[in-house]
Structure 1
Amino acid sequence: MLPRTDRRLASPHASSASRGAGDALPISAWGERGRQAAQAIAARGVPVSLGRIAVLLVLQESPSRHTTAEQLCRAMMESPYQTALSTFRAGIYELTESGLIWRVTLPAGSHAVTHYYEMADCPAHEHLFCTGCHRLEEVFDEPLLAMQRACLAAQGLRPAHVRSALVGRCKACAAQA
């Protein structure tokens, strides 16, 4: 998969603040990382587009591994990878369906959920949302994942690239309670 980095690509054009919405940079202007993102997208059989490349590049540069769609869109608007907001959001969902990024679903009230997105660049894992510190912890437990796969397969079910998070307390918050 693509490496995560916090480095921004230098734009060969004016700053993102001075570009208009119709002045999107071509893929070639995004350098090697843009080319790698395009290859990763094409390898999944998904048509390559500026919006999809922008999603991967913005997610790679995110300071947090788990990011909401709103946070990603805000970061895109402040980055050199600007595309139309609807194109960018569609790219998030399309790359989730292709398995290049993962969506984690958290309950956010009695009738609402919050979706977080992360690069699909590590082994499959679960998540725990800590109700104490509000962090999303990654839980790598192969026996748990194997049991889930076996249960789903026994019922003829095939999971999507979406995960629900467990809700509870992380180790540090549990120790304080």
Structure 2
Amino acid sequence: MVLRILHDNPDRHMLAERMCAALVRRDATAAISTFRTAIYDLNNARVLSRVLVPLNANRTQTLYEIADNPRHRHLYCTVCRTIFEVCDAVMEQQIAHQFALAGLKSANFDLARVGKCLACSEANLTRR
């Protein structure tokens, strides 16, 4: 059910709370705690990936996505709240190389880089 909900979501990235709400809409008898456990288990099995989005100095939000794409990074617009996927094989090779040099295995999450997208920046300029 978790994978179906994520697959049916056009944004591809969802908060656990939104997934739980979608589950309740589909099956009112489902236990939320079981659903949350499934999300964490699927993440540990690397079926799902986590994307941590810094909202401010003290808060982050965690989005989940199906881990079916090639490795990629995330950019997040703090104005329109759009998440962008960046696929760059050369960058991924460099990151893998740096992990290997440090003797680390990468975790199953990405820390989104935040900023203001071009559309929001241009909209801000036209309002002045």
TM range (shorter): 0.7 to 0.9
Report whether the alignment pairs 1:106 with 2:40.
no
Q: Contact conserved, 1:97 with 1:160, CA < 8 A, in 2?
A: no
Q: Contact conserved, 2:55 with 2:78, CA < 8 A, in 1?
A: no
Give the C-alpha shift of residue 174 in structure 1. Answer: 4.1
Q: Structure 2, unaligned stretches of length 5 or more?
A: none
Task: Supply the distance in 2 between the matched residues of 1:96 and 1:134 (Cα, whole angstroms).
Answer: 23
Report whether the alignment pairs 1:154 with 2:91.
no
Report the equivalent of 2:19.
72
| SS in structure 2 of the partner of residue 78 of structure 1 | helix
Decide which structure has the larger Cα Rg and report it.
1
Task: Supply the distance in 1 between the matched residues of 2:78 and 2:116 (Cα, whole angstroms).
Answer: 6
Q: Deviations over 1:12-62 (max 9, x none)?
A: xxxxxxxxxxxxxxxxxxxxxxxxxxxxxxxxxxxxxxxxxx211221122
Q: Contact conserved, 2:49 with 2:64, CA < 8 A, in 1?
A: yes
Higher relative contact order (CA 8 A, sep 6+): 2
Larger relative strand fraction:
2
**Identical aligned residues as a percent:** 36
| SS in structure 1 of the partner of residue 70 of structure 2 | coil
TM-score, with structure 1 as normaliser: 0.64
Q: Structure 1, unaligned stretches of length 5 or more?
A: 1-53
* Aligned-residue CA RMSD (Å): 1.7
Moved over 6 A (4+): none
| SS in structure 2 of the partner of residue 57 of structure 1 | helix
Task: Supply the distance in 1 between the matched residues of 2:96 and 2:28 (Cα, whole angstroms).
Answer: 37
Give the C-alpha shift of residue 82 in structure 1. Answer: 5.2
Are residues 82 and 148 of structure 1, via their aligned partners in 2, closer, same or farther at CA, if it must alter by over 3 Å? farther
Q: Deviations over 1:125-168 (max 9, x none)?
A: 10000123211111111111111111111000111111110111
**Residues 51-70 of structure 1 aligned to structure 2 (within 5 Å):** 54-70=1-17
Task: Supply the distance in 2 between the matched residues of 1:175 and 1:142 (Cα, whole angstroms).
Answer: 30
Are residues 175 and 150 of structure 1, via their aligned partners in 2, closer, same or farther at CA, if it must alter by over 3 Å? farther
Q: How many residues align?
A: 124
TM-score, with structure 2 as normaliser: 0.87
